[in-house]
Amino acid sequence: MAHTGLISNWTFWRASMSDSRHKPTPKITSGPMQSYSSQTFQNGQLPQAAAESSILVTANPELLQTTRFLEDVMVEIDNTIDPNTPNPHLNMLLHLVQGHCDGRIVSPSSMVAASGVPYATGMRRLAEIQAAGLVEQRARTKSGKTFSLHPSPKLLQSFTQLAERIERIARNSFGAADPHPSQDDYYFGGSYQPGQANIPPPRVLPEPLKLSGGLRILVHGDPTFMVMENLKRQFEQIIGTDISQRAFSIDRLREEALRNAARAQSRYDLIAVDLPWVGEFVEKGVIRALPEIMDVDRLDPGDFHTAGWQAAHWNGVPYGVPSQTTPEMMFYRKDWFAAGGLEPPSTTDAVLKAAKHFHEPLKGRYGVAWNAARGTALGHTFMMTCADFGQPIFDLPKIAGGFDASRLSKGGLRPMFDTDKARDAADYLMELLQYSPPDILSMSWYERVRPFAEGKVAMAYGYTLLAPYFELDSTCQAYGNTGYLPHPHGPEGVPIAPVGGYVLCVPANLSEDRIDETVEALVSFTSPAAQKLYAQNGSRTAPRYSVGSDPSVRRLSPIFEMVDQMSWRDELQYWPRPPVPEISEVIAICGTELHDMLRGLVSPAEALKRVQANTEQILNKPVT
């Protein structure tokens, strides 16, 4: 499935993933993952062209492929063999499933029209498949006299298994090579291994949500949330109401969430919260505790990656549901390393050695790209680099697998910027600077991945959510040539992958009459079926083990299996960016002082001394 829309336009991502106030002219491109200007999303609207092009999004590629294949085969049989008898049951079920995938409303009359038999016969056959539990109906009016038809979970599960069987039958019958030889352990549509079964598509809610004005969501303008926006038509069908999504850059998202908290009533039903903000948002009364509004067991907490789920807690209480768990990793060019006879860089020394080897500025090739832009971007980089050298930025207690960030609400923390390991981290960044692109001091978020995708750098630090830029574009030099590693570590560090991403939270000032319906939408959007849908349409984040274990998801990218493995090895960690209430101010300080260091205005020792003093001062102030 092509994803050209994601690659062909960088305009929106430049605006949304930095903190620029520039608002570029909207540009619409074709393809499932499209890019829009920040102004477009800040106004809470999509241009008409974008709305129309949403039909290009495939709700479930394998399911839709199967239904269309069966329809094509039946047409060929009907046109070749005469006389023949229509199969009304199959005709109607194919029409129903395809409508579900396309986000179209299916009525009883359209089902009967698709049956291929007279009206009275079609009505009887429809009653038969309803009696078999294959079809569900949902009222479209208060009277309940008008209703829409939807596939039942039983039907979706059957068609999901059928999609796998048909593929195997076709390979066996026509001699095609198995593109997935590692998945030979197959029996009647599933794997022998527990947790490896195909997740069926999302089912519609039994009752449409009754939210005045529709569901309103505040999100970050990153690829995963843009997948959700592009799938809006399908999710509106699933929850039964309109969806309005507003997207901002990371800094402006935080500002808008805090502004919203000061309003008498929230303008949003759900807000996306960056993991480090959880402590601040709880202490400032921005978000609600999940146990106050729902049965948390409905979420199946054990299915979430441990670090992602723990990061959603404050003082032992969950406040959000992981919408995306995206570790930062090291991307490296496998073909370059193989040609140079170099091993993948598992340590910081190996990164510097490889960066020096590949750095050829006169040829337009550079060693490494990373977040070095002033402010938020560099602040995040330094915190994670400290972790690579074996220490957090606060004196957290050491535990198996790293450090304990679960008791931050107790306070009393001491900053750790005046230590030898923090100095080692700063020195490492100074050395990286020598082998970086000339515009490194303005690189943030997506800018570091762009030159990697274009074949200009050998390595890049980047979150998995940015991998679609080169995984889905066969014209990129990095396409098919990228390897993934946890963060390379210093002499006293261990392999870790700092966890990033967002949790979806319910605002504390949301009107009480909207709470129950919002919770239903929250459960639906973060379900395994929804997360699988995001992955199938270009996302490279999967906060649940079940999604990463789904065979059809694993085929999409090596990232999913790798993240699962890192989670089991306890390499996914959220303590590198501890969610203390003051973290945003600390990040800003780090990103400012260390930028002066990189520019040569102050020494590493002086920069760290300033960060230490300023952070101590911030921690002594009350959270307001």
- pLDDT tens digits, residue range 198-234? 888 888 888 899 999 999 999 998 888 888 888 888 8
Percent of the chain exceeding pLDDT 70 equals 86
Residue 622 has pLDDT above 70, yes or no: yes
- pLDDT tens digits, residue range 478-489? 999 999 999 999
Residue 557 has pLDDT above 60, yes or no: yes
Q: 242: number of CA atoms within 13 Å, CB side?
A: 8
SS3 347: strand
Rounded mean pLDDT, 443-472: 94
Q: What is the pLDDT of residue 70?
A: 79
Whether the CB-CB separation of 433 and 440 falls below 8 Å is answered with yes
**Phi, psi at 357, each rounded to 5°:** -60, -40
Q: What is the pLDDT of residue 191?
A: 41
DSSP per-residue letters across 506-552: -BTTS-GGGHHHHHHHHHHHTSHHHHHHHHHTT-----BHHHHH-HH
Instruction: Spell out the residues 6+ positions from residue 72 whose beta carbon is closer than 8 angstroms to its own.
Output: none
What is the C-alpha to C-alpha distance for residues 12 and 39, in angstroms, rounded to an integer? 9
Q: What is the pLDDT of residue 276?
A: 96
**Phi, psi at 39, each rounded to 5°:** -65, -40
Rounded mean pLDDT, 378-383: 97
Residue 10 has pLDDT above 50, yes or no: no
Reported pTM: 0.77
Closest of 579, 556, 330 to residue 458, by C-alpha: 330
**Phi, psi at 490, each rounded to 5°:** -80, -175
Instruction: Spell out the residues 6+ positions from residue 218 whose beta carbon is closer than 8 angstroms to its own.
Output: 246, 248, 253, 256, 257, 260, 267, 268, 270, 271, 272
- Dihedral (CA of 513, 518, 520, 523) sign: negative
SS3 604: helix
Helices (H) and strands (E) in the chain, counts: 27, 17
**Alpha-carbon 26 to chain mean position:** 23
Task: Tell how strand 317-318 and strand 313-314 pair up.
Answer: antiparallel
**In the block, which residue shows the tokens 């406040």?**
319
SS3 447: helix
Residue 9 has pLDDT above 60, yes or no: no
Of 73 and 270, the structure prediction assigns the larger pLDDT to 270
**In the block, which residue shows the tokens 């750098």?**
457
Q: What is the pLDDT of residue 464?
A: 94
Rounded mean pLDDT, 541-565: 92
Return the DSSP state at 574.
S
Of 158 and 251, the structure prediction assigns the larger pLDDT to 251
Residue 504 has pLDDT above 80, yes or no: yes
**Phi, psi at 586, each rounded to 5°:** -65, -40
Q: What is the pLDDT of residue 77?
A: 76
Q: Domains plus CATH for the chain? A: 61-191 (1.10.10.10), 202-624 (3.40.190.10)
Closest of 53, 37, 92 to residue 70, by C-alpha: 92
Least confident of 158-167, 349-358, 488-497, 562-571: 158-167
Of 1 and 143, the structure prediction assigns the larger pLDDT to 143
Instruction: Spell out the residues 6+ positions from residue 382 whose beta carbon is closer than 8 angstroms to its own.
Output: 425, 426, 429, 590, 591, 594
Residue 424 has pLDDT above 60, yes or no: yes
Percent of the chain exceeding pLDDT 90 equals 60
Q: What is the pLDDT of residue 101?
A: 75
**Alpha-carbon 50 to chain mean position:** 21
Cβ atoms < 10 Å from Cβ of 548? 24
Tell me the pLDDT of the chain averaged across its residues. 85
Name the strand (E) or helix (H) holding 319: none
Least confident of 218-222, 264-268, 343-347, 453-457: 218-222
Which token pair is 616?
Answer: 């101590």
Least confident of 172-176, 444-448, 476-480: 172-176
Q: What is the pLDDT of residue 52?
A: 32
Q: How confident is the model at residue 177 (pLDDT cuts 50, 70, 90)?
A: low
Cβ atoms < 10 Å from Cβ of 508? 18
DSSP per-residue letters across 9-63: --HHHHHHSS-----PPP----SSS----HHHHHTT---HHHHHHGGGS-S-HHH
Rounded mean pLDDT, 39-63: 39
Least confident of 17-26, 166-175, 520-529: 17-26
Rounded mean pLDDT, 484-496: 95
Rounded mean pLDDT, 64-71: 75
- pLDDT tens digits, residue range 96-118? 888 877 777 888 888 888 888 89
Residue type, 79: N
Q: What is the pLDDT of residue 175?
A: 63
Q: What is the pLDDT of residue 76?
A: 74
